[in-house]
């Protein structure tokens, strides 16, 4: 043991004397400090989650150990390699030293060093929480165990098993390249697998949690449905009785892997000089044998031989010959190294796996078109390409010194420029080869997926015109840094720091692309527009930063080391002699930097105004401070809209004039009219009676007009205005995605808003705290005097008459709500006149223009139309089918369709949603790429979304609620439920559990990330996960309890009583709210089920149902008797997720099934009264049962679905 302690203490002394140890500690301290003191730096949760709470700490430590794998690999790997790098192992191993002392001491010293290094996380977080500027509303003190338990169970365990694995690999390979490569490989492979898990949530189960080495997937398994209250109070438990013991078993598994690795290194490490040098001795013996055989060969006489004549040539031909020769040599050196092939294999592996998921996401599939494939294969491959550029730039600069060949190399008659260019071209060749590998993998995965429409030009543009320049820009920077610094690994750290600098600068509101290295303006490819309007900004940004890096690279040629003298004084002296020859190149790049930077600045700061995200939030906050007082100020309502709009999509602009008819629907005269111009698109507001302009806010966001003659109750007023937006040049981000070359799509938010607009307010609680704003006000309670008479979607109006004339270039089709009255061509423009006639609509309309292919069908008197880009024909028939099915179901159960047409219109994927306007539904581009590979398992997402958006023609465009709590669910929950019913008619009851599970998962994940307080469904505010997923689940379950026909009758009665509320020109009356909806539902619900409406609409109710046992016995008559033991629990939760046990006396499904999982056939399903505790039920079925359980279709809100059903055990 004495020798063990000597090696251990020696290793610690070496580490404690090493600057890198303290650099690593400081790095983790700094990152952890910022994660609490500046919460924007690393986000581990939502606005209510404690920054230093148990869950935040656990996730933070997992992230740090994930990205710290490279540090762990470096510390453990170099400890065992040190003796081999310095050739001291031959001396050490001649001494009577045991394996345990040597390996154990080295390993233990590295382990303690690593624990010290990573302890910076704890100290940084603890000190960061004390800073006065930190958000102390999300920081608590006095919980040291919240720091120590995650550190011990996550960080220390990770260091133990990862360090043991890295120690094993380093000891057996004894190569420094492999030491660093294994850390990078573990990091990248884990990131890839995490992406796979994210794409296939079905993998979130017991085994995926146990097998996760780092813990992020483990955390998802354990806490994916935890509420904020649970995240702020609970640590991951080591108990086998909590969460199925998944955390305990995971930690034990990887601790065991660590011990196995230590055992392997002890068994297989050759603790002898002979064994360690056997391979090199063999190579030397083979070389000696070849030399001996060569000596036996007859040789030509030097006397008899004629010597060749030598001619010296120092012209340009020699320069080119040397350049080609040196480039070939460097390429050969790189491609013969294991590191190159390992990185190439990693890139190919990542590209192939990510390429597979280009067409697969959870339970939906899409066609792997080239832009989706590129988006996927680039994902981690590009990171590795940057790693290649960084590593090989360092290797190429330092190779001659690392191999002790610098003296000979520096004496060669070769220019520094030639030497440098050979390195650059060699690295460029490597990157091109790897990009070709990425491209080949993308094409291969497209072919594998059955897609053969390859866009090779897009591959070339993306990989070689966008990715390649950015990668080589980093290579140029790395060449400069490695030339300037005196340590290769310090150079790598500096280049890495440049990458880290980008998000740090962005977090600190430095977002100008001219100031942030490696940052380029955002861009997106669309089949409808290609790279579209993003090209100019992207191209000039690339020229700007590439020129800066190239300038630095030319300086690196001047500063290149050459000769034995390596001091800065000597290098500056050499640089003065080299600079005259490099001046033209330096001047060229300076001109390019100035020219491209000036043009970029002119476009982004002169032609356009550049705002940071913080400045935009400041504007919003100022608007609220100044004008919130006018929120309830009486204003007239819009009753009619008439607009003439000229679209100019190829210049991303439009202009026009508008005419509003305003009516005073209040009981008092109105003297002032307030107008919000949230899009900065309105000008020249006029009224048909004398008025004067009182005031306008900064940026003309809010204007007040004084009428000389007040508008009397019931009186109408004409208002005219100009509307438009003119694009100039390009922007540094902040481009308006609605304005596109093809698929231009903007809505009525560009028109004036009468009065104060809540849409301008900041809704993020954390951002509101930063701006010193009070908590965002909830929607008024049901019955509020003003909210009840205010339209939820369009507070400035009730229902309007609408007509418009819109023009567009003659190769495009322009669309707006309404029926086409006529269209004509004039002056190279195509004009369309639309009019809604007598049908009134919401003051919520859109303008769309694009180069469309059109498919139309007259279905039972309704024209179903799909306007799509010719690249995307695959889902058009599916949309038509979904529209037909929806029309049939909704008209049969709710009311007649109020329009003569229903149009689906494609728009570019710059925005990802589908939206419903009157008789018009724009769909984002990706909805046209849906693909069903397995009808038994895949969700036909396009069919479902079509049914949902069509349902809004009833639930929003016929019936709309007031601006009070709960109203959102009357449009969204009812539309989602309606779509579920349409899907059920297509797929049948047996397949609906997939849809219901999807909805349940969305609800539970949503409440897990709640930033405010979760409200009950009947009083929902802004929580989309409540009004979408939870609402549809509850309505579907209610229809199962009382019957689909009765629920639909309730909805029909509710709709017919309240649709088109306030559609006449009289004084505004109350809109319906969820109390009326509940009353309609109660009228059709039996007395013994009224509890379900109370639990569902007015409370937050959670179930914990599970199956204890299911057994079967074959009876004498050939049937099967199934005995099912189940247990049920119910709880009520408050807005923070704190649960209180509730009395359970509910009807819940229990059932028996046959067949494979997800393809099960129901043999017997019935409702039983579940009262809590264990209950036993018996079934008699005709076929062999395979599974049985409680709530098998997932109709109730249950946070653990895995234990609802179990396999049936056959008892003979």
CATH, residue 1197: 2.60.40
Question: Is 531 inside any structural domain?
Answer: no
Angle 497-499-502 (CA atoms, 0-180°, nearest 5)? 105
Residue 908's CATH number: 1.10.390.10
DSSP state for residue 604 in the 8-state scheme: I
What is the distance between the alpha carbons of residues 76 and 703, in angstroms, rounded to a whole number?
Answer: 67
Would you give the distance in Å from CA 892 to the centre of its chain? 40
Flag whether 846 is in a domain: no
Of the candidate ranges 578-582, 722-726, 1046-1050, 1121-1125, the one whose mean pLDDT is the lowest: 578-582
d(CA 834, CA 816): 7
Burial of 24 (0-12, 13-18, 19+ CB in 10 A): buried
Higher pLDDT among residues 727 and 492, named by residue: 727
pLDDT at position 1103 is: 95
Same-domain check for residues 653 and 755: yes
Q: What is the DSSP string of 114-159?
A: HHHHHHHHHHHHHHHTT-TTS-GGG---S-HHHHHHHIIIIIIHHH
Identify the pLDDT of residue 968. 95
Residue 958 CA from chain centroid, whole number: 35
Structure tokens at 565: 């003298």
- Is the model's pLDDT at 203 over the cut of 50? no
Closest CA to 719 of 646, 637, 841, 838: 637
**CA–CA distance, 410 with 570 (Å, rounded to integer):** 15
Q: Are 1165 and 1119 members of one domain?
A: yes
Of the spans 352-366, 924-938, 1142-1156, which averages the highest pLDDT? 1142-1156
Residue 878 covered by a domain: yes
Checking if the pLDDT of 1189 tops 60, the result is yes
Give a yes or no: residue 297 inside a domain.
no
Q: How many Cβ atoms are within 10 Å of 263's Cβ, its own excluded?
A: 12
Shared domain check, 660 and 585: no
Q: What is the mean pLDDT of residues 513-541?
A: 92
Residues 1058 and 1206 in one domain: no
**pLDDT at residue 349 is higher than 80:** yes
- Record the tokens describing residue 928, joined without a space: 């046209």
**How distant, in Å, are the alpha carbons of 397, 521, 699, 745 from that of 537?**
33, 7, 25, 22
Q: What is the pLDDT of residue 454?
A: 92
Tell me the per-residue pLDDT of 101-158, one tens digit each, with 9 for 90 and over. 888 888 999 999 999 999 999 999 899 888 887 888 888 887 889 999 999 999 999 9
What token pair was written down for 213? 């080495």
In-domain check, residue 286 = no
Residues 721 and 822 both lie in one domain:
yes
Distance CA 512, CA 537 (A): 12
With residues binned 3-state (H G I as helix, E B as strand, rest as coil), the percentages for the chain, rounded to 5, are 50, 15, 30
SS3 1148: strand
Higher pLDDT residue, 1031 or 359? Answer: 1031
Strands 1209-1210 and 797-809: unpaired
What average pLDDT does the structure give for the chain?
88
Least confident of 416-430, 825-839, 1152-1166: 1152-1166
Q: How confident is the model at residue 319 (pLDDT cuts 50, 70, 90)?
A: confident
Q: Count structural domains, the chain.
A: 6
Q: Are 954 and 978 in contact (CB under 8 A)?
A: yes
- 579, 562: one domain: yes
Predicted pLDDT of residue 884: 98
Task: Name the nearest CA neighbour of 1106 among 1142, 1130, 1122.
Answer: 1130
pLDDT reading at 202 higher than 70: no
696 vs 837 pLDDT, higher one: 837
Give CA–CA dist 682/751, Å, rounded. 7
Alpha-helical (H) ranges within 1089-1140 are: 1090-1093
**Which residue reads 């290094």 in tokens?**
117
What is the per-residue pLDDT for 222? 86
Predicted confidence (pLDDT) at residue 763 exceeds the cutoff of 60:
yes
Do 1060 and 1144 share a domain, yes or no?
no
Question: CA–CA separation, 565 vs 1160, rounded Å?
Answer: 79
Of 86, 383, 57, the C-alpha closest to 236 is 57
In the block, which residue shows the tokens 């919240």?
146
Express as a percent the part of the chain with pLDDT over 70: 91
**Is residue 190 very low, low, confident or very high in pLDDT (cuts 50, 70, 90)?**
confident
Pairing mode, if any, of strands 670-676 and 1120-1128? unpaired
User: pLDDT at position 493, please?
Assistant: 79
Tokens of 31: 């990152």
Q: Is the pLDDT of residue 217 over 60?
A: yes
184 versus 912: the higher-pLDDT residue is 912
Of 219-228, 384-393, 776-785, 867-876, highest mean pLDDT: 867-876
Strand (E) or helix (H) holding 163: helix 157-173
Residue 843, domain member (yes or no)? no
CA atoms of 561 and 400, how far apart (whole Å) = 11
More confident residue, 88 or 677: 677
The length of the chain, given as a count of residues:
1212
Number of neighbouring beta carbons within 10 Å of residue 499? 14
Give the angle subtended at the CA of 1106 by the CAs of 1100 and 1111, to the nearest 5°: 155
The CB density around residue 718, as the number of other CB atoms within 10 Å, is: 13
905, β-bridge pairs: 867, 922
Instruction: Give yes or no: residues 96 and 106 share one domain.
Output: yes
Same domain, 1025 and 1151: no
- In terms of residue numbers, what domain contains 94? 2-277
Q: What angle do CA 248, 251, 254 make, to 5 degrees?
A: 145
Banded model confidence at residue 276, pLDDT cuts 50, 70, 90: low
User: Which carries the bigger pLDDT value, residue 696 or residue 114?
Assistant: 114
135 close to 39: Cβ distance less than 8 angstroms: yes
Pick from 810, 835, 860: which residue ends a domain? 835
Q: Are 653 and 768 found together in one domain?
A: yes
Query: pLDDT exceeding 90 applies to what percent of the chain?
Result: 57
Q: 234 and 102, same structural domain? A: yes
pLDDT (mean) for 348-377: 82
- Residue 669 is predicted with a pLDDT of 96
CA distance 649 to 16: 64
Phi, psi at 847, each rounded to 5°: -125, 130
Tokens of 579: 């600079």
Cα 866 to Cα 853: distance, rounded to the nearest angstrom: 8
pLDDT (0 to 100) of residue 361:
59
1103 vs 206, residue with greater confidence: 1103
For β-strands 670-676 and 853-859, DSSP reports them as unpaired
User: Within a domain: residue 782?
Assistant: yes
pLDDT of 6 above 90: no
Within-domain flag for 1146: yes
**Residue 285 confidence (pLDDT):** 57
Q: Domain end: 1078, 1097, 1116, which one?
A: 1097
Sheet holding 1139-1142, edge to edge: 1100-1103, 1130-1133, 1139-1142
> Is the same domain home to 634 and 769?
yes
Range with lowest mean pLDDT among 448-462, 531-545, 930-944, 1019-1033: 930-944
What number is the average pLDDT over the span 1173-1188?
A: 94
**What would the mean pLDDT of 562-566 be, rounded to a whole number?**
67
Last residue of a domain, one of 835, 870, 896: 835
Place of tokens 């929950």: 973
Q: How far apart are CA 930 and CA 377, in angstroms?
A: 19
User: SS3 of 718, please?
Assistant: strand
Q: What is the DSSP secondary structure assignment for residue 534, as one 8-state letter?
A: G
Range in 374-388, 496-510, 836-850, 1079-1093 with the lowest mean pLDDT: 496-510
Read off the tokens for 218. 């483990």
Summarize pLDDT for 482-521 with one digit per residue, the tens.
888 877 777 887 888 887 777 778 777 888 999 988 888 9
Angle at 123 between CA 117 and CA 126, to 5 degrees: 155
């Amino acid at each position: 043991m004495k020798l063990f302690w000597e090696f251990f203490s020696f290793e610690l002394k070496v580490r404690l004397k090493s600057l890198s140890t303290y650099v690593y500690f400081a790095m983790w301290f700094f990152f952890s400090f910022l994660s609490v003191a500046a919460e924007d730096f690393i986000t581990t949760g939502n606005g209510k989650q404690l920054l230093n709470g148990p869950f935040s700490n656990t996730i933070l430590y997992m992230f740090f150990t994930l990205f710290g794998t490279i540090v762990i690999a470096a510390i453990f790997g170099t400890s065992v390699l040190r003796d081999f790098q310095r050739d001291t192992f031959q001396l050490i191993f001649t001494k009577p030293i045991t394996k345990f002392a040597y390996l154990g001491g080295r390993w233990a010293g590295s382990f303690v060093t690593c624990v010290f290094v990573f302890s910076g996380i704890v100290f940084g977080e603890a000190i960061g929480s004390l800073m006065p500027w930190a958000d102390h509303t999300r920081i608590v003190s006095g919980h040291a165990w919240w720091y120590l338990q995650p550190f011990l169970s996550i960080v220390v365990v990770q260091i133990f098993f990862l360090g043991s694995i890295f120690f094993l690999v380093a000891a057996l390979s004894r190569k420094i390249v492999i030491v660093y490569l294994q850390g990078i490989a573990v990091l990248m492979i884990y990131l890839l697998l995490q992406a796979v898990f994210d794409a296939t949530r079905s993998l979130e189960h017991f085994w995926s949690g146990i097998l996760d080495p780092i813990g992020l997937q483990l955390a998802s398994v354990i806490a994916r449905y935890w509420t904020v209250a649970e995240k702020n109070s609970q640590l991951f438990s080591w108990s086998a009785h909590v969460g199925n013991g998944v955390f305990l078993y995971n930690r034990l598994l990887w601790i065991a892997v660590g011990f196995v690795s230590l055992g392997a290194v002890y068994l297989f490490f050759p603790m002898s000089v002979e064994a360690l040098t056997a391979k090199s001795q063999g190579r030397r013996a083979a070389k000696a044998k070849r030399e001996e055989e060569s000596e036996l060969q007859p040789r030509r006489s030097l006397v008899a031989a004629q010597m060749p004549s030598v001619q010296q040539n120092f012209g340009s031909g020699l320069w080119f010959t040397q350049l080609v020769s040196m480039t070939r040599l460097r390429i050969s050196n790189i491609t013969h190294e294991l590191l190159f092939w390992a990185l190439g294999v990693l890139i190919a592996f990542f590209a192939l796996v990510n390429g597979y998921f280009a067409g697969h996401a959870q339970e939906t599939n899409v066609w792997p078109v080239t832009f989706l494939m590129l988006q996927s294969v680039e994902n981690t491959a590009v990171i590795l390409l940057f790693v290649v550029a960084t590593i090989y730039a360092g290797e190429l600069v330092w190779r001659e010194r690392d191999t002790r060949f610098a003296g000979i190399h520096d004496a060669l008659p070769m220019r520094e420029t030639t030497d440098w260019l050979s390195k650059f071209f060699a690295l460029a060749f490597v990157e091109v080869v790897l990009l070709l590998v990425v491209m080949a993998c993308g094409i291969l995965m497209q072919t594998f997926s059955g897609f053969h429409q390859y866009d090779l030009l897009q591959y070339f543009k993306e990989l070689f015109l966008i990715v390649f320049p950015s990668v080589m820009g980093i290579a140029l920077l790395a060449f400069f840094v490695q030339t300037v610094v005196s340590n290769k690994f310090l150079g790598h750290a500096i280049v890495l720091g440049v990458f880290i600098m980008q998000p740090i600068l962005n977090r600190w509101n430095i977002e100008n692309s001219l100031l942030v290295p490696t940052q380029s303006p955002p861009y997106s490819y669309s089949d409808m527009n290609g790279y579209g309007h993003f090209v100019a900004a992207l191209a000039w940004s690339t020229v700007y930063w590439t020129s800066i890096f190239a300038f630095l690279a030319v300086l690196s040629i001047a500063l290149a080391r050459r000769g034995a003298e390596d001091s800065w004084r000597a290098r500056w002296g050499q640089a003065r002699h080299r600079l005259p020859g490099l001046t033209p190149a330096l001047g060229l790049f300076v001109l390019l930097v100035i020219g491209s930077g000036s043009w970029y600045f002119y476009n982004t700061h002169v032609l356009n105004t550049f705002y940071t995200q913080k400045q935009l939030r400041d504007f919003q906050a100022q608007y609220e401070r100044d004008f919130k007082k006018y929120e309830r100020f009486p204003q007239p309502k819009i009753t009619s809209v008439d607009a003439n709009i000229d679209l100019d999509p190829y210049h991303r602009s439009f202009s026009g004039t508008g005419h509003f008819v305003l009516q005073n629907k209040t009981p008092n005269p109105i003297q002032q009219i307030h107008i919000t111009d949230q899009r900065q698109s309105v000008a020249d507001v006029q009224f048909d009676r004398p008025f004067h302009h009182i005031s306008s806010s900064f940026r003309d966001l809010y204007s007040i007009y004084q009428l000389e003659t007040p508008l009397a109750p019931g009186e109408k007023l004409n208002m005219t205005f100009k509307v438009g937006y003119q694009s100039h040049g390009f922007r540094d981000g902040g481009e308006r995605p609605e304005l596109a070359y093809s698929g231009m799509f903007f809505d009525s938010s560009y028109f004036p808003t009468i009065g104060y607009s809540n849409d301008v307010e900041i809704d993020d609680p954390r951002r509101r705290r930063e701006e010193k704003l009070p908590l965002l006000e909830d929607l008024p309670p049901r019955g509020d005097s003003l909210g009840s008479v205010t339209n939820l979607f369009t507070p400035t109006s009730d229902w309007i008459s609408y007509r418009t004339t819109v023009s567009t270039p003659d190769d495009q089709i322009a669309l707006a709500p309404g029926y086409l009255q006529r269209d004509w061509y004039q002056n190279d423009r195509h004009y369309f006149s639309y009019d809604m006639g007598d049908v009134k609509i919401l003051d919520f309309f859109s303008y769309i223009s694009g180069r469309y292919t059109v498919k139309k069908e007259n279905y039972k008197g309704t024209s179903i139309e799909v306007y799509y880009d010719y690249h995307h024909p695959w889902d058009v028939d599916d949309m038509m089918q979904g529209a037909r099915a929806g029309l049939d179901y909704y008209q049969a159960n709710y009311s007649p369709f109020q329009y003569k047409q229903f149009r689906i219109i494609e728009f570019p994927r710059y925005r990802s949603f589908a939206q419903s306007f009157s008789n018009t539904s724009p769909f984002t581009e990706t909805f046209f790429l849906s693909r069903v590979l397995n009808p038994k398992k895949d969700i036909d997402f396009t069919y479902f979304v079509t049914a949902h958006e069509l349902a809004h023609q009833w639930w929003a465009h016929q019936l709309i609620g007031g601006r009070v709590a709960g109203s959102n669910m009357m449009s969204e929950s009812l539309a989602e439920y309606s779509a579920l019913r349409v899907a059920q008619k297509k797929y049948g009851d047996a397949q609906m559990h997939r849809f219901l599970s999807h909805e349940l998962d969305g609800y539970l994940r949503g409440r897990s990330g709640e930033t405010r307080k979760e409200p009950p469904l009947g009083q929902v505010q802004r929580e989309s996960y409540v009004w979408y997923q939870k609402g549809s689940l509850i309505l579907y379950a209610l229809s199962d309890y009382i019957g689909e026909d009765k629920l639909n009758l309730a909805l029909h009665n509710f709709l017919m009583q309240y649709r088109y509320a306030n559609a006449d020109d009289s004084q505004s009356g109350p809109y319906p709210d969820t109390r009326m909806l509940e009353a309609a539902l109660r009228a059709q619900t039996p007395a013994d089920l009224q509890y379900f409406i109370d639990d569902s609409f007015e409370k937050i109710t959670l179930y914990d149902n599970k199956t204890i046992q299911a057994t079967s016995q074959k009876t004498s008559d050939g049937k099967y008797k199934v005995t099912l033991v189940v247990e049920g629990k119910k709880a009520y939760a408050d807005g923070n997720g704190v649960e209180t046990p509730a009395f359970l006396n509910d009807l819940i499904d229990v059932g028996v099934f046959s067949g494979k999982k997800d393809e099960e056939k129901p043999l017997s399903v019935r409702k039983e009264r579940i009262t809590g505790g264990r209950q036993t039920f018996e079934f008699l079925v005709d076929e062999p049962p395979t599974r049985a359980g409680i709530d098998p279709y997932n109709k109730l809100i249950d946070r653990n679905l895995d234990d609802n059903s179990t396999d049936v055990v056959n008892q003979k």
